[in-house]
Structure 1
Amino acid sequence: MGNLRIPLFLFFFHIFSLLFALSSARFSPPDNHLIACGSASSSTLDDRRVFVPDSAAIVCSSGSKISVSAPPDASPASSPLFRTARVFTRPSSYEFQIKQKGTHIIRLHFYPFSSRDFNLSSALFHVSASGFVLLTDFGTSFPQLKEYLVRVDAEKLLISFAPARRSSFAFVNAIEVISAPEDLIGDTARLVNPDRIEKFDGLSRQAMETLYRLNIGGPKVTPFNDTLWRTWVPDAGFKNSDSVSKTVAFSGRIVYREGGASREVAPDNVYNTARVMDGAKVSDSNSNMTWFFAVSSGYKYLIRMHFCDIASRALNELYFNVYVNGYLAYEDFDLSSAIYFLASPYYVDFVAGVDSSEQLLSVSIVPSKHSSHLRINGLLNGLEIMKMNNTLGSLDGGSPIILVLESPARRGFGEFLRSVVCGLAFMSLLVIGFMLLLRWRAETKNTGTWLPLPTDVSGGKLADGNPVVSGKLVYS
């Protein structure tokens, strides 16, 4: 018999090498602030993350630091973070030291229990961070997790809370501030207009709120199985009923390659399942897979579509069209030409607006003219919808909210003096402007009739755009 010790040694060496590679590949963010608000001790979650008390991070401008706890007889919460909360009766803020500038993930946990002194479900308040308004007149009677992506270019990040009314208050149960991987948010996307596709620049400078994160064709993915501690829900509640799609699963190895998506963009559990269009069941050009999402009008949205061809037998067999809001966003998309490998992840970012007459955003996969009845005609593995800030820097409401969250004593006498000087200068300008207005009105009474300005302005030119794409998709 041969010597079995060497093969056995190699086997265990391979196993330990694999485990070491997996552990070393796990994302380790430079900034990783995990705060259990109102708690006197640390809390450990099922995903092994440890949240520490908030006593060192909180900065109050006025008022006391109020900590509340759920009563002992209350129904047990699903998370230890929901047993305590921090309540603010005055504008207040948390301050976080930032080691690495760039995009950060901010998660706010709200669990409105009722304590002896406060019923958290009656709170009404505003929240802002890094110059962006995150929430206005916010209140909730059920548990909520709010997730945001905000670029931070300073050495400190302030997350501010302010009661919306004098008689109201603000609260929060837990806060996460995590450095996002550099490849999580790129700077460009495909802007989908009704008549053309344009390039959208400056995406990484936008503040965004995560609204929907779907594992298409697969089960729920929990934070334990995601390197960025995200939750992905099944798509069944968002997809229109159809008979042309089916779900597929992949038991092989997902191959992450340069130029494609990383494991931080989406985990294996998203890319190893998909919903596909069965070419044999496609009857006409109106066949499609479509997902609908309730959104607010007046904003632009980032639509991120995750692809990983786990269903084709060979390269260059899968072609399909992508529609956003019924408008053609990508024609004859060939995943093979984008990533050059099967079972290798890739994503595409689209930006689209929703006008005042609509409250729904739709995403569709439609067969291409290159599709074949002998192969699948479309595929999607994951889908994310994120609201982008409006022109006023707000993610919730049309008007900006200015929260004065630091007292003159904290800002320092120099800054206070500059504020006084600027105020006096502004008042002086108002007085001068008023005197000039009075003088102008007096002079116009003694002048002749003014001739109107010409209204025929010529020489203007419309900006050249991309070729016009086809009209809206008609759903069958």
Structure 2
Amino acid sequence: MNSSSSISSSKYLSLTNLPLFTPLHLSFLFLHLTILVTGDSPPPYVPLDSIALDCGSSSQSFVNGRQWTADINSKVALLDQDGPSTNPTENGASTSSVPYYTARVSLSQFTYTFPVTTTGPKSFASISIQLPTLVSTDEQKNLSITFTPSPHVADAYAFINGIEIVSMPTNLYYTAGDDPGMYDVNHEVSLPLQKDTALEIMYRVNVGGGEITPPNDNGMFRSWLSDPDYLTDARPSAFQFNGTIQLQYNNHTRYAAPDVLYRTARTMGPDSTVNKKYNMTWEFPVHSTFTYLVRLHFCQFIPIILQKGDLVFKIYIANQTAERYADIISWADGYGVPIYKDYIVMMDAGGNEGIQNLSIALHPIQSTNALDAMLNGAEIFKLSKSDNLAGPNPDAYPDSPVSNTPRASTKPQHSRRRTVAIIGAAVSGIVVVSVLFLLIFRRRVQKFSPKIQGLGFW
């Protein structure tokens, strides 16, 4: 089955996880009141729309306090299909596997239509192998997602396990009016992120902390992975945690990430001699020839780092300078204030099969209190290119059914015959030279050593 996806021209934010069977959130952006919050963690975001659809299922389920609605005779989604070939499948697993133990599989196109509370910019998410090719809304406040088997692959299926729709705060990922926007590290300018650009979530990472599962996110059911699998140089790094600090959220960061992410971090460690000799580095495999939004989350909560200039460092993204003088307290205008910074970088063609590593590296600058660097979290989004987010399809594995028959060589037959002829001529030449050498050597032996010949040496 073809695993590529394409997104039609739209005004919607598309959040799609790279690994298969990873939940994504079809999310709406709504205006919300923003206030300064101190003390305890702010209340979680309450979405106006929260839909979890269990595709291919005939009964609803409750998982981690979240209701998953069956798509058969569903009241939250209308299913429209081309032809009778749509086939719900169910393997009989326990409800703890929801929505992964059911699926809707089809050789023909099918569409889900969801009634929503408002029109406007939206984000899209699904759990699937063959990703949807369309996200759209109309004046009737409907959101449609269409799944189409690839026309380029014989007997291709469209496949979907589940769909989640969750409203999101306005301007969480798009540039607001007073926001300077994203810093373009290739061209050293700031650019706004417009709502006609689609995004695909590639990675969300809780740096220095553990995995954050969707029920533990702050109301938007996002998944945040721990960072060790992506950390490539930290010798050694140090984990930081502050569970008692009163975090102060501003109007940009109240729902940017869960509270625990801003209470954990990774630093380079206390050895300044070691720190100044390397960059603390993470690497993330991404598709080449796309532009990426990199969002870095920071919150300075280390007790001895209280003033501007106490801890400063450089930031490199994809081996290019993103920040020459990063000072978290200066950016956030205070100690214990969460903040994030957005950067965009173009990944040129390169790497194996269109995949290469996008690196994030921090290097310390000598400051008043420490020679160190610090990071709390990171998000990486792929930006749409020509209304398309599709990466290259991976080659089939040697033991897969479609590739277990040896492929015919693409080299012409006459090239192989020519190669055989060259090898044969070379072997023949070696044999002729060897025979001539032996004959010459034998005559010389016969001339100068007749006794040896009599002993039967030849």
TM-score by length of 1: 0.65
Residue 78 of structure 1, CA deviation: 4.4
Q: 1:352 to 1:231 in 2, by over 3 A?
A: same
Q: For 1:51 and 1:26, locate their aligned partners in 2 and report how far apart those are by CA, in whole Å.
A: 20
Does residue 364 of structure 2 align to residue 371 of structure 1? no
Give the equivalent residue in structure 2 for 1:107: 125
Give the structure 1 partner of residue 88 of structure 2.
Answer: 68
Kindly tell me: are residues 397 and 245 of structure 1, through their superposed partners in 2, closer, same or farther at Cα, counting changes over 3 Å?
closer
The structure-2 alpha-carbon separation of the partners of 1:204 and 1:337, relative to structure 1 and needing over 3 Å to count, comes to: farther
Q: 5+ unaligned residues in a row in structure 2: which ranges?
A: 1-38, 176-180, 394-458
1:238, distance to aligned residue in structure 2 (A) = 0.6
Say which SS state the counterpart of residue 231 (structure 1) adopts.
coil
Correspondence for 2:205: 214
1:239 equivalent among 218, 231, 234: 231
Cα distance, 1:286 vs. partner? Answer: 4.2
- Counterpart for residue 58 of structure 1: 78
Could you say which residue in structure 2 is the equivalent of 1:186?
Answer: 174
Matched to 1:360, the amino acid is: N
Higher relative contact order (CA 8 A, sep 6+): 2
Give the conservation status (yes or no) of the 8 Å contact 2:214–2:221.
yes
* SS of residue matched to 2:325: strand
Equivalent residue number for residue 129 of structure 1: 134
Q: Does 1:224 align with 2:196?
A: no
Show the counterpart of 1:473. none
- What residue number does 1:40 align with? 58
- Name the residue aligned to 1:382: 377
1:319 and 1:371 in contact (8 A); partners too:
yes
Equivalent residues of 2:235, 2:268 under 8 A apart: no
2:313 aligned residue (314, 320, 324): 320
Q: Give the partner amino acid of 1:157.
A: L
Match in the other structure for 1:450: none
Of residues 140, 152, 161 in structure 1, which corresponds to 2:147? 161
Q: Which moved more, 1:379-388 or 1:156-165?
A: 156-165
Alignment correspondent of 1:91 = 109
- Whether the aligned pair in 2 keeps the contact of 1:287 and 1:366 (CA below 8 Å) is yes
Task: Go from structure 1 to structure 2 and tell me whether the alpha carbon gap of 1:181 and 1:45 turns closer, same or farther (over 3 Å shift).
Answer: same
* Matched residue SS, 2:334: coil
What SS does the aligned partner of 2:287 have? Answer: coil
Displacement of 1:25 in angstroms is 2.8
Whether the 8 Å contact between 2:233 and 2:279 is mirrored in structure 1 is: no
The amino acid that maps onto 1:52 is: T
Query: Which secondary structure does the structure 1 equivalent of 2:331 belong to?
Result: helix
Structure 1 residues 437-467: Cα deviation after superposition (integer angstroms, max 9, x where no partner): xxxxxxxxxxxxxxxxxxxxxxxxxxxxxxx
Q: Which moved more, 1:299-308 or 1:29-38?
A: 29-38
Q: Distance in 1 between matches of 2:104 and 2:275?
A: 57
8 Å Cα contact 2:301/2:335 also seen in 1: yes
Pick closer, same or farther for the CA change 1:126–1:236 going to 2, 3 Å: closer
Structure 1, residues 204-228: CA drift from partner, whole Å, max 9, x if none? 4321111111110111111121021
Give the letter aligned to residue 329 of structure 2. Answer: S
Which structure has the larger Rg over C-alpha atoms? 2
Specify the code of the residue in structure 1 equivalent to 2:333: Y
Contact 1:301 1:351 (C-alpha < 8 Å) held by counterparts: yes
* 1:396 aligned partner, one-letter code: A
The structure-2 alpha-carbon separation of the partners of 1:22 and 1:329, relative to structure 1 and needing over 3 Å to count, comes to closer
Cα 1:22/1:312, change in 2 over 3 Å? closer
Please tell me whether the aligned partners of residues 244 and 281 of structure 1 are also in contact (alpha carbons under 8 angstroms): no
Cα distance 1:275–1:96, how it changes in 2: closer, same or farther (>3 A)?
same
Q: Contact 1:105 / 1:176 at 8 angstroms: preserved in 2?
A: no
Amino acid in structure 2 at the alignment position of 1:367: P
**Aligned counterpart, 2:331:** 338
Identify if the C-alpha distance between structure 1 residues 216 and 83 changes in structure 2 by more than 3 Å, giving closer, same or farther.
Answer: same
Which residue among 270, 286, 294 is the counterpart of 1:295? Answer: 286
Letter in 1 for 2:364: P
Q: 1:360 to 1:333 in 2, by over 3 A?
A: same
> Helix, strand or coil: the match of 2:234?
coil
Q: Is residue 65–residue 86 contact of structure 1 (8 Å, CA) maintained in 2?
A: no
Give yes or no for the alignment of 1:251 onto 2:237: no
Asked if 1 retains the 8 angstrom alpha-carbon contact of 2:245 and 2:301, the reply is: no
Alpha-carbon displacement from aligned partner over 1:371-419 (angstroms, at most 9, x marks no partner): 35x42521100011111111x20110489xxxxxxxxxxxxxxxxxxxx
Mapped partners of 2:235, 2:70: distance in 1: 51
Aligned AA (1:362): S
Match of 1:7 in 2: none
TM-score by length of 2: 0.68
- SS at structure 2 position matched to 1:82: coil
Q: What are the superposed Cα offsets for residues 148-205 of structure 1, whole Å, 9 maximum, x if unpaired? A: xxxx686322111111245232121110122221142131211111xx4111223443
Q: 1:326 to 1:77 in 2, by over 3 A?
A: farther
Report the CA distance between 1:84 and its aligned residue.
1.8
Contact 2:124–2:135 under 8 Å retained in 1: no
Deviations 1:353-373 (A, max 9, x none): 1000241111111112x435x
Indicate how the Cα distance of structure 1 residues 183 and 126 shifts in structure 2: closer, same or farther if over 3 A, else same: closer
1:308 to 272, 279, 299: 299
Q: 1:251, CA displacement in angstroms?
A: 1.3
